[in-house]
Amino acid sequence: MYVFRRAGFNVIKFIASVTLFFHFIGHLWHCMQEFLWGRAVISWDRIIKTIYRSGAKLAIPLLFISALMGMSIATNLHHILNKYHLQHKALSVVQNLLTRDFVPLLIGYVLCVQSSLNLITARVTKLHRVPQEVLLDYILPIIIGINITALLLYTYTVAAFIFSVYLTFHFVLGISTHEYLLHLAGSITFIEIFISILKTSVYCTIVSLIVGYYYYDVAVRNISVRQAVSRIITRGLLWLTAFSLYLNISNF
């Protein structure tokens, strides 16, 4: 009997969450229209804070993480391909792997975690914000700020990855990088950059919608901030990984 009661309770919670999500999307769309027509004002100060907290403060740590990941991936992939006498392909494979897959996903993960932690200092419940105020003062600025931040972090991360891969092959593995530089100049085309930036933008849109939904959930249903932060991280990482897998399977 307990199992059926628990299952029914979980089904009701799931239906309520789905209903609230569509309510959030509709309310968000309405606020966006109000803002575009000049009938509502968003918090530009909140956009700047989002860019600073999720971008400027993370730039240097993300550069170190990107450089270390680039060196680790380059070294491991070279050793793996060396077993099949394909080590001359390692440079081009690493470059394509990092720019098309790792960079967008890494930025999505980092922004997901950092945006969830920003909810702790938002004080949505303490200030008794109504949903309309939360949308205009928090959620819309977060959506705009996260996408601007993603483009800035993308530039730094790609540069750190390419530079660390070059240093690894040239100084650590002692391999000539002349061929790599020629390949780099020919392979980084406008289409490749556009696809990579588009992936980053899609991942960050997913993150911003998940973060915005739980900000809205805190304001509407008054769930605890701790619970909201935990759900943003777990749901965000899950959806990012699942969508990344879908893009890789579809060969995008």
Q: By the 8 A CB rule, do 207 and 87 touch?
A: no
Tokens standing for 186? 């020919």
Q: pLDDT class for 251, splitting at 50, 70, 90?
A: confident
| pLDDT over 90 (residue 77) | no
- Per-residue DSSP letter, 182: H
Question: Could you tell me where the DSSP H helices lie in the chain?
Answer: 2-36, 44-51, 57-82, 90-97, 103-118, 131-134, 140-167, 178-187, 190-221, 225-249
Range with lowest mean pLDDT among 43-47, 110-114, 192-196, 238-242 = 43-47
Q: pLDDT class for 1, splitting at 50, 70, 90?
A: low
| pLDDT over 60 (residue 195) | yes
Predicted model pTM: 0.85
For residue 138, which of 46, 62, 75, 200 has the smallest C-alpha distance? 46
Q: By the 8 A CB rule, do 69 and 165 touch?
A: no
